[in-house]
Structure 1
């Protein structure tokens, strides 16, 4: 099944594969810990990483919860939007992972739209295509310590970004 979200700030679509089962949800305590691990602070009822004063801002949101690397523990993808902080992409993502001791840890994050690919890096972590404006997107891969640039793709085909 495919789910797509429209990012109005840049009028583009981002699609990612999702499981057929009901989506996982975090408990309120886990949600708060995940946001804190991602570097967000609670401001009123909104989790924020960016101090965007504009009307286009969208506060932190747990966009997806699932076990990305098959280790039996959940990961969460946290998004936040607004061109004030995130430029033409209009959005940012942070991936956090629940640890064996119950705490949450930031795995990666950046400006753009994270799409998890079927290809994998070390320890079963999926490659991530980081979408944004344009037609040639970076794909980052887990090397055992961090996600680093692996290649560039557009619609599954190799490309060279304009410099």
Structure 2
């Protein structure tokens, strides 16, 4: 591929991406009311079960599976690659020989408190909650309740590291 073709394809990609982003924002007007800042095109499954507070920032490659319900507080930042899951398999009755379509799925809601920053590539598992004013370090996996306000959490699974105040 020569330099001219490469430049044209790069420009074409940027134009198509901007059109997709504008269409996405146009068809998600509930985000306008909340003054949400959307960078990129997040993937949101079952958006009617997603409650977003005001002044939320959602960045590139965020995936929100809201089947079990997701509540995101005010002034929350979801950084690049954040994944929020609310659905999983029922491992209490899991049978290896069972076919995929017969496995039971369970749903648990996720809650993220006001003023929280979820750093890059964090995975939040079903049933998890994060208290207000927290930072969850990049690459962490949130399982269960991070219930101390204004704290730094990190690791796999995410655990308390220190107070922020």
Common topology (TM > 0.5)? no
Structure number having the greater helix percentage: 2
**With structure 1 as the length reference, what TM-score do the two structures score?**
0.30
